[in-house]
Structure 1
Amino acid sequence: MKFFFDEAQRQHNPVNFLSSGAPQPNPEQPGRVQALVDGANAAGLTQSATEDHGMAPIARVHSAEYIHFLRHIYTRWQRIDGASPEVIPNIHPDRRTVSYPKSAVGQAGFHMADTACPISEHTFHSAYWSAQSAVSATNDVMAGAKASYGLCRPPGHHAFADLAGGFCFFNNSAIAAAHLKQNGLRAAIVDVDLHHGNGTQGIFYADPDVLTVSVHADPIRYYPFFWGHAHERGEGEGLGTNLNLPLKMGTGDEGFLEALDKGLERVRDFGADIIVVALGLDAFEGDPFGGLSVSEQGFAEIGRRFAQMDLPCVMIQEGGYLCDELGDNLTAFMNGFKGG
């Protein structure tokens, strides 16, 4: 199996984010990359060069207005007297239908869902190449590979079509699924990250051609709070193509796998040609966010369950934060997949 990653993805280096109103060191650090590369190598994956597929695959998911914002906001922010070193909004509209301001501060509030997605000098460049890694992995599977891994950093599943959030800027899993749809394939996204993939849900909520499934910690008292509840099933033509499987805090291997089995049953019923695995590793019992309690062996079994679907898989890296076992968990997942 190949994995795709570009060195430009290391350049995004956020310093802080706000948690409960207080500045905290940002856990979405470049150091995650080396742990994941080591984990992929330990599983016997072979690194392949990420190709530049241009803006079109990204623009199928994200608005041109939003892309323009991400490309230019850091430079504009530096012109504001007394502004923070990183772009962090201090005002948000109450709905998406409000007027669009010219102010950099106003646009930051419009295009950034929260204070956990600071934009610094290299953010756009790193996010662009993260998305290209997702497209390269997708093309590898479309060319005949059984599976491929996009080591996408920064991650993407909290990003909506015109809204960054939760360390995410371009939604790599959604970009992969939209690329598959553009090429006539029926894609199912199965998100196993600790946090609900709210951006992914939002992008495809009315789309009957892409199934979105998410197994995650119950958002009733946990990020992202407003999305990820079991009653959210899609809307319009997409009604019935969104499945959320929220879990009680602290759920371990048995409960997680039980929910995953339900999600994979829905994938079979959807008649998917291919699975996009939104591969968060932060459901780990030792992850700094500490919401769920999946073990290393649990990740191996998660990988095995995906392999047993006997469908091509594009694995797109989402969360999973710096701890001694981060790379080991990726290795366990990949070895479980290969063994399945």
Structure 2
Amino acid sequence: MKAILDDRQRAHDPKNFMANGTRKPNPEVPRRVDILKAGAEAAGCVFETPADAGLGPIAAVHTAEYLTFLRNIHTRWQRIEGASDEVIPNVHPMNRTDSYPKSAVGQAGYHQADTACPIAEYTWKAAYWSAQTAVSGADAVAAGARAVYALSRPPGHHAFADLAGGFCFFNNSGIAAQRLLYKGLRPAILDVDVHHGNGTQGMFYARGDVLTVSIHADPARFYPFFWGHAHERGEGAGLGANLNLPLERGTDDETYLNTLDRALAQITDFGADVIVVALGLDAHIDDPFQGFAVTTEGFTRIAAAIAATGLPLVCVQEGGYVSDALGGNLTAFLNGIEGN
């Protein structure tokens, strides 16, 4: 299977992460690239460097205002006396329609949803090449590839059109879907990360040309909390084009696979001719986030069920954090695709 990776993604090395009121080491570390690359190569993947398609594919789903912020905020932040090395918000607007401040501190609060997306000197560069990795994956599938693995890091599915969050800055899966749409295809995004793809949902919520489906831990007591509930179906032209399938903490292989059948049926009925798989591996029983209890064999079965649709696949890396099982989980998933 063709795989895409740009080593410039390693430059983003976040230090701060706050959970439950406690400062902890950020789990979205560059080491993830090494583990995932080895896991993909064990499945027979051959990596290529992405082409530079420019800002166009990113700006197709992200606002110019947000791109300006993300490109410049670290430099601006460092001019503040006593500022931290990383941009971390401490104040937020109540609504997206509230006034837009000139202050770097105020804009950080406007464009960063939480404290899990600190912006450092090389965040823009890494996020840019992470997005280009997804674009190249989409282009390869549009050109006829059956399946492509895009090792995009930092991940993307918590990023809205103008808002970073949850380790994510550019919505790589959304960028890939929009690129496929531009190429004349009808994409569905299937998010299998243990966390709901709230940014992806928000990006396409009022649109009917991209189906968004997410299987995730019930957000009533799990990040991202405010999105991902079953009643959220889309609005306007997008009504019925968003499907959330929240599951209980500790969900095992069989329950997950039964739910996946429902997700794939919706994708079929949407008339999709390509699937963007937002590939979170953090549903594994040994992942640090401890949301689900999917096994390594379960990932093979999940991938085989997706591949059995016969649709071409752009697999864009989302979550999945450092554990002894991470690389093997990716190998299992990619082998599940290749076995069909």
Instruction: Give the TM-score taking structure 2 as reference length.
Output: 0.99
- Relative to structure 2, which stretch is displaced further, 211-220 or 178-187? 178-187
Letter of the 1:143 partner, please give it.
Answer: A
Q: Show the counterpart of 2:238.
A: 238
Q: Show the counterpart of 2:293.
A: 293
| Alpha-carbon distance in structure 2 between the residues aligned to 1:266 and 1:306 | 12
Aligned with 1:334: secondary structure? helix
Q: Show the counterpart of 2:131.
A: 131
Q: Show the counterpart of 2:46.
A: 46
| Alpha-carbon distance in structure 1 between the residues aligned to 2:22 and 2:77 | 21
Letter of the 2:7 partner, please give it.
Answer: E
Q: Show the counterpart of 1:222.
A: 222
Alignment of 1:161-200 (within 5 A): 161-200=161-200
Query: 1:284 aligned to 2:284?
Result: yes
Q: Show the counterpart of 1:259.
A: 259
Aligned with 2:303: secondary structure? helix
Query: 1:31 aligned to 2:22?
Result: no
Letter of the 1:322 partner, please give it.
Answer: V
Q: Give the Å deviation of 1:57.
A: 0.1
Query: 1:144 aligned to 2:144?
Result: yes
Q: For residues 40-88 of structure 1, give each alpha carbon's deviation from its aligned partner in whole angstroms, at most 9, with x where no partner exists.
A: 1000011112110000000000000000100000111111111121110
Letter of the 1:323 partner, please give it.
Answer: S
Q: Show the counterpart of 2:3.
A: 3
| Alpha-carbon distance in structure 1 between the residues aligned to 2:69 and 2:95 | 18
| Alpha-carbon distance in structure 2 between the residues aligned to 1:95 and 1:27 | 29
| Alpha-carbon distance in structure 1 between the residues aligned to 2:167 and 2:303 | 25
Query: 1:101 aligned to 2:101?
Result: yes
Q: Show the counterpart of 1:329.
A: 329
Taking every aligned residue pair, what percent have the same amino acid on both sides? 65
| Alpha-carbon distance in structure 2 between the residues aligned to 1:258 and 1:200 | 23
| Alpha-carbon distance in structure 2 between the residues aligned to 1:167 and 1:149 | 20
Spell out structure 1 runs of 4+ moving beyond 4 A.
none
Structure 1 regions of 5+ residues with no counterpart? none
Aligned-CA RMSD value:
0.6
Aligned with 2:62: secondary structure? coil
Q: For residues 244-282 of structure 1, give each alpha carbon's deviation from its aligned partner in whole angstroms, at most 9, with x where no partner exists.
A: 000000001011111111000000000001000000000
Aligned with 1:221: secondary structure? coil
| Alpha-carbon distance in structure 2 between the residues aligned to 1:216 and 1:42 | 27
Alignment of 1:194-209 (within 5 A): 194-209=194-209
Aligned with 1:220: secondary structure? coil
Q: Show the counterpart of 1:250.
A: 250
Query: 1:86 aligned to 2:110?
Result: no
Aligned residues: 340
Q: For residues 159-208 of structure 1, give each alpha carbon's deviation from its aligned partner in whole angstroms, at most 9, with x where no partner exists.
A: 00000000000000000001111122100000000100000000000110
Structure 2 regions of 5+ residues with no counterpart? none
Letter of the 1:68 partner, please give it.
Answer: T
Q: Show the counterpart of 1:16.
A: 16
Instruction: Give the TM-score taking structure 1 as reference length.
Output: 0.99
| Alpha-carbon distance in structure 2 between the residues aligned to 1:100 and 1:22 | 30
| Alpha-carbon distance in structure 1 between the residues aligned to 2:109 and 2:121 | 18
Q: Give the Å deviation of 1:18.
A: 1.3
Q: Show the counterpart of 1:64.
A: 64
| Alpha-carbon distance in structure 1 between the residues aligned to 2:19 and 2:85 | 18
| Alpha-carbon distance in structure 1 between the residues aligned to 2:233 and 2:70 | 30
Letter of the 1:17 partner, please give it.
Answer: F
Query: 1:116 aligned to 2:116?
Result: yes
Letter of the 1:6 partner, please give it.
Answer: D
| Alpha-carbon distance in structure 1 between the residues aligned to 2:78 and 2:66 | 19
Q: Give the Å deviation of 1:95.
A: 0.1
| Alpha-carbon distance in structure 1 between the residues aligned to 2:103 and 2:16 | 23
Q: Give the Å deviation of 1:21.
A: 2.3
| Alpha-carbon distance in structure 1 between the residues aligned to 2:95 and 2:21 | 22
Q: For residues 95-118 of structure 1, give each alpha carbon's deviation from its aligned partner in whole angstroms, at most 9, with x where no partner exists.
A: 000111000000000000111100
Aligned with 1:149: secondary structure? strand
